[in-house]
A and B are shown apart, each in its own frame.
Chain A
């Protein structure tokens, strides 16, 4: 065997996409790769892309499951196009070649490219490279399945079990390619399969064999990817749903209240309920209700009873919960409603991302029914905004709708673990037993917040409910003037939340020609696009909204400094319509996409450049 020529490709950042059949373990492979890269000092952005069906027909394009990892220096997105594509079968190649950069490397499992599989994937000839014009790629045709079989031929395992490890062979190749250590993954095997040492040994052998294969193949040139500028500290990898669950639990701890989550499983929000159900060790109560309405109403019951109550859902579930949110609005009970947005309308695209529930969150209720609306903008800051949602709900006695999306929920990032001592206290306005009769709608004159009298407290017995109530006393009232007073109070109470949220910050100069506005999960793509253009000397700045209702107090002041404003969002212009109604004095251009996919940085920069060129 000849020694490989000692060369490396140096890059600032790299995108790698693992793809295969939905049963091929691509999500695990991708996660292990990104965890290792993070551990070794890279910045990370990941994006899983999988079908809604648990097992779509094997070998078909519809059944392809993908996991994209972007790592290196200054990473804010999972990357637009892959530098390296791993395709475990023809369908994966068919589905993902278009997401690979021309000149990039494609590693295929040669053994899976049988006539039958090519046909299932929709190829018409036996030469997929020629047929789909993939000549511009550096194709590595690796016998992944047969080499896995060869490695484990003496393991005593049956063929089906052996082939389950082939994803680890592919992972081994990638570890060679990017000069990553195997130890983290080996430790993962040891803990995951600790009861079956044979499986631990088999996976380790296959992983190492993949690594060795990479070393021995001439066409594979290893990469050297820049490290991230990382602050000192302890880190972990976290996805948006886990961060949301933990942020809610953190708010409960700071408020010194038990956490109750009433919820119903729905993609892509289910993981939040699952994560919270693991936290019984922290006293968290999860109630898996009979339906979405039972989820929120049990939570409202828990709020009435004195818990920090939350419910979690996705678009169709938010629609089902709307009447109950109105009940929380009129009874002024604290409640966090997490909506992990997905493609709609109706069942829509359950596993895909979208930002199209904004208007539903703002207005989707009967009556004048104001609630606070907040949006997280990165997988890891779901922790912060879940915490803040809890703090606002409890301190202002109001429902808060926290919007995340499928992209944030399933995407993961390295996260510098915060210390709870750096988080603020949550001061809950709990009514104390006093000499005066408790009145449910007596308010703090400053923020208009009522006091929360918790059942079980002697002397504070009272009744609340969905009928309009008399100002202060809380008795049922049909007095016309009182309805006006209460309607105005509810709106003004939410408006005054603006006094306790941070100001909007401009990224870039305050006199740029173009201001890009985003909200929620598009932050990483917009930031990268704007920063790339700023580096090119373009006159462009960026503001990103996490607080949507109410808007940060300085919003008008910021917007008035810019000549052109464009709002980019993954819907048909919902935030733009909202801004036109609350700040109608500005002209808002729009950039929208509704494909169930995140933005790409390149489409954003192309569009923003066009806007800058237009006079």
Chain B
């Protein structure tokens, strides 16, 4: 048993001045990540934080860990190399919605498909912030931005659906301001072997302020959010009296105590179910018909890329009579003069 690593969130703060706008959701996420990492029982030098380009991608500079601020869209691919080359590291990718899903969309889906043990935080504020306010792949249709003065005419991605479509095994969702939930998810994602995607709905105070306001409204949020826990009933609401049931092949919100509905009728969340269809419906829920699903929605055990690669290497090394380059050069067909 490894000895306990005693760290506090302060150990993860770098000496760099944090330069995000006042009120930016990234500040809360940074603090939460630092707190969570201090509790992971992992030595600080084993963390590698990899980012692409965008506001959120400055993240590594503020973390007193090994960090790499790379190029636009490529963080997932770079992190794939980091983890494959050095599986001993705890690798964290910081992505925005533009960085991760537009220019980096290809790497995002293939990371999920390969199931490399990387934790990817997708900061989703539905806007390009660093370039000052253009629509992104997650911007809702009709939104007016600097490059869509008449409203966007594009369908947005729902990142969780993309994860499922790419055969991803882990997807969780949280809000920047819900630090407790975010921290719980981060700790869970770290333990999960394989790619973990955590969508953090983040508020950009400058260019998309209030974009998630419908769900985070102080008065209404308990009716508009459902936090899913594996093995527990899908119950939510200010009075804890609403639940989700299956009505045919669709989800439906019901009220416990009405129309003969009892707690027994409410679905139990199974994050470990391999079949993605219920997870898909949960990920797709949106208001006003449904609450938005938060928490660990999908966490399915599956074989992990770098572990399979290491196994192939061990087997090849054990079986082969070629132990070094000299052996290799002299293998096969040779002749002596």
Q: Would A455 and B71 count as touching, CB distance under 8 A?
A: no
Bound-complex Cα distance A267 to B175 (A)? 47
Closest Cβ of chain A: how far from B161's Cβ, in Å?
A: 19
Known contacts A456-B89, A461-B44: does B107 contact A283 (CB below 8 Å)?
no
Contacts of B68 on A, CB cut-off 8 Å?
Answer: 301, 304, 331, 463-465
Measured in the bound complex, the distance between the Cα atoms of B68 and A290 in whole Å is 21
Q: Are B317 and A280 in contact (CB under 8 A)?
A: yes
**Contact present for B334 and A463 (CB under 8 Å):** no
Q: Is the CB of A465 within 8 A of B69?
A: yes
* Complex Cα gap A233–B88 (Å): 43
Within 8 A of B (CB), among A456-479: 456-467, 475-476
CB distance from B48 to the nearest CB of A (A): 5
What residues on B are CB-neighbors of A300 within 8 Å? Answer: 70, 78, 81
How many B residues touch A, CB cutoff 8 Å?
Answer: 58
Measured between alpha carbons, how far is A35 from B336 in the docked complex, in Å? Answer: 13
Q: A455-B48, A456-B46 are in contact. Are A301 and B89 (CB under 8 A)?
A: no
A298 at the interface (CB under 8 A from B): yes
* A260 lies within 8 A of B45 (CB): no
Q: A297-B70, A463-B67 are in contact. Are A41 and B337 (CB under 8 A)?
A: yes
Tell me which residues from 297 to 352 in chain A have a Cβ below 8 Å from any Cβ of chain B: 297-307, 309, 323-324, 326-327, 331
A246 to B322, CA, bound (A): 13
Scan residues 202-234 of chain A and give those whose CB is less than 8 A from a CB of chain B: 230-234
* Interface status of A236 (Cβ within 8 A of chain B): yes
**What sequence of 0s and 1s flags, for each residue 126-144 of chain B, a beta carbon within 8 Å of any chain A beta carbon?**
0000000000000000000
Q: Are A475 and B16 in contact (CB under 8 A)?
A: yes
Task: Tell me the bound Cα distance from A460 to B77 in angstroms.
Answer: 24
Listed A/B pairs (10) with beta-carbon separation below 8 Å? A235-B334, A235-B336, A235-B337, A283-B317, A285-B313, A294-B74, A302-B84, A305-B48, A466-B53, A476-B16
B86/A458 in contact, CB under 8 A: no
**A304 and B84 form a contact (CB under 8 A):** no
Complex CA–CA separation, A231 to B85 (angstroms):
41
Contact across chains for A280 and B81 when beta carbons are under 8 A apart: no
List the A residue with the shortest CB-CB distance to B44: A461
Q: Are B86 and A306 in contact (CB under 8 A)?
A: yes
- Contact pick for A467, options B69, B77, B83, B89, CB 8 Å: B69
Residues 65-102 of B, flagged 1 when their CB comes within 8 A of A and 0 if not, give 11111110010011111111110110000000000000
Which residue of chain A is the closest to B306 with respect to CB atoms?
A: A285
Which residue of A282, A302, A463 is within 8 Å of B324 (Cβ)? Answer: A282
Query: Which of A147-155, A161-169, A417-425 participates in binding chain B?
Result: A417-425
Report Cα–Cα, A294/B107, bound state, in Å: 7
Contact A298 B78 (CB under 8 A): yes
B332 within 8 A of A: yes
A455 pairs with B78, CB closer than 8 A: no
In the complex with contacts A281-B316, A285-B309, A420-B324, A301-B82 CB distance below 8 A? yes
**B110 interfacial by beta-carbon distance below 8 Å:** yes
**Would you call A550 an interface residue if the criterion is a C-beta within 8 Å of the partner chain's C-beta atoms?**
no
Q: How far is the CA of A420 from the CA of B141 in the complex (A)?
A: 62
Q: Separation in Å of the B4 CB from the closest CB of chain A?
A: 16
Decide: A246 near B85, CB < 8 A? Known: A289-B77, A290-B107, A461-B65: no
Do B86 and A307 have beta carbons less than 8 Å apart? yes
Chain B residue numbers with a CB within 8 Å of A303 are 81
Given A298-B81, A301-B50, A458-B45, CB of A417 within 8 Å of CB of B329: yes
Q: Which 7 A-B pairs have the closest CB atoms?
A: A301-B81, A465-B69, A281-B320, A298-B81, A302-B85, A280-B316, A301-B78
Contacts of A305 in B (CB 8 A): 48, 81-83, 85-86, 89
A299-B81, A475-B16 known; A234+B71 contact, CB < 8 A: no
> Is B210 an interface position by the 8 A CB rule?
no
Q: By the criterion CB–CB under 8 Å, are B45 and A457 in contact?
A: yes
Closest chain A residue to B75 by CB distance?
A297
Scan B299-316; emit 1 where CB is below 8 A from any A CB, else 0: 000000000010011001
Which chain B residue lies CB-closest to A300? B78
Q: Please give, as numbers and ranges, the residues of chain A lying within 8 Å of B325 by CB-CB distance.
A: 246, 249-250, 253, 282, 420
Give bound CA distance, A331 to B79, whole Å. 16
Contact A290 B337 (CB under 8 A): no
Task: Check B337–A456 contact: CB distance below 8 A.
Answer: no
Q: Does B218 interact with chain A (Cβ within 8 Å)?
A: no
Closest Cβ neighbor of A419 among chain B residues = B326
How many Å from the CB of B216 to the closest CB on chain A?
32
A35:B333 contact, CB within 8 angstroms? yes
- Residue from the set B61, B67, B70 with the largest chain A CB neighbour count within 10 Å: B70
Question: A347 CA to B226 CA in the complex, in Å?
Answer: 52
**Given the interface contacts A455-B48, A459-B45, A464-B69, does A230 sit within 8 Å of B337 by beta carbon?**
yes
Find chain B residues with CB under 8 A from A294 CB.
74, 77, 80, 106-107, 110
The residues of B that contact A462 with a CB separation of less than 8 Å are: 66-67
Decide if A304 touches B316 in the complex (CB within 8 Å).
no
Partner of A463, one of B60, B80, B317: B60
* A233 contacts B337, C-beta separation under 8 Å: yes
Decide yes or no whether B330 CB sits under 8 A from chain A. yes
Contacts of B333 in A (CB 8 A): 35, 236-237
Residues of A contacting B336 with CB < 8 Å? 233-235
Closest B residue, CB atoms, query A333: B68
Residues of A within 8 A of B174 (CB): none
Whether A297 contacts B74 by the Cβ 8 Å rule is yes
Q: Is the CB of B313 within 8 A of A463?
A: no
Please, how many angstroms separate the alpha-carbon atoms of A380 and B172 in the complex?
Answer: 52
| B308 → chain A closest CB, angstroms | 12
Task: Taking A297-B74, A323-B71 as given, write out 13 further A-B residue pairs in contact, using a Cβ cutoff of 8 Å, ordered by the A residue number.
Answer: A235-B336, A279-B328, A281-B322, A290-B77, A294-B74, A297-B70, A298-B81, A305-B83, A456-B45, A462-B66, A463-B69, A465-B61, A465-B70
The answer to whether B150 has its CB under 8 Å from any CB of chain A is no
**Shortest CB distance B47–A (Å):** 8
Measured CA separation A39–B332 after assembly (Å) = 13
Q: Shortest Cβ distance from A291 into chain B, in angstroms?
A: 6
In the assembled complex, which residues on chain B have CB atoms less than 8 Å from the CB atom of A409?
A: none
Q: Which parts of B92-126 form the interface with A (CB within 8 Å)?
A: 106-107, 109-110
Chain A nearest CB from B61 CB (Å) reads 5
Measured CA separation A443–B142 after assembly (Å): 53
Contact among B14, B312, B324 with A280 in the assembled complex (CB-CB below 8 Å) = B312
Asked if B250 lies at the interface with its beta carbon under 8 angstroms from chain A, I say no
Cα–Cα, bound, A456→B44 (Å):
8
Chain B residues with Cβ below 8 Å from A323 are 71
Q: Which residues of A contact B109 (CB under 8 A)?
A: 290
Q: Does A429 contact B (CB under 8 A)?
A: no
Known: A234-B336, A236-B329, A457-B45. Contact between A301 and B80, CB under 8 A? yes
Q: Is residue A516 contacting chain B, with contact meaning CB distance below 8 A?
A: no
Residue of B nearest to A278 (CB): B316
Quick check: is A143 within 8 A (CB to CB) of the other chain? no
* A578 close to chain B: CB less than 8 A: no
Chain A: minimal CB distance from B266 (Å): 41
Whether B329 contacts A418 by the Cβ 8 Å rule is: yes
**Max chain B Cβ within 10 angstroms of own Cβ: one of A262, A326, A419, A463:** A463
CB distance from A298 to the nearest CB of B (A): 3
Residue of A nearest to B317 (CB): A281
- A297 near B14: Cβ-Cβ < 8 Å: no
**Closest B residue, CB atoms, query A184:** B333
Smallest distance from the beta carbon of A461 to chain B beta carbons, Å?
5
Is A258 interfacial (CB-CB < 8 Å)?
A: yes
Closest A residue by C-beta to B65 = A461
Confirm or deny: B208 has a beta carbon within 8 angstroms of a beta carbon on chain A.
Answer: no
Considering the complex, give the chain B residue whose CB is closest to the CB of A433. B45
Question: Residue on A with the closest CB to B19?
Answer: A476
In the complex, the chain B residue whose C-beta lies closest to that of A294 is B77
Contact B61 A253 (CB under 8 A): no
B85 touching A258, Cβ below 8 Å:
yes
User: In the complex, what distance in Å separates the CA atom of A462 from the CA atom of B79?
Assistant: 16
B81 touches A287 (CB 8 A): yes
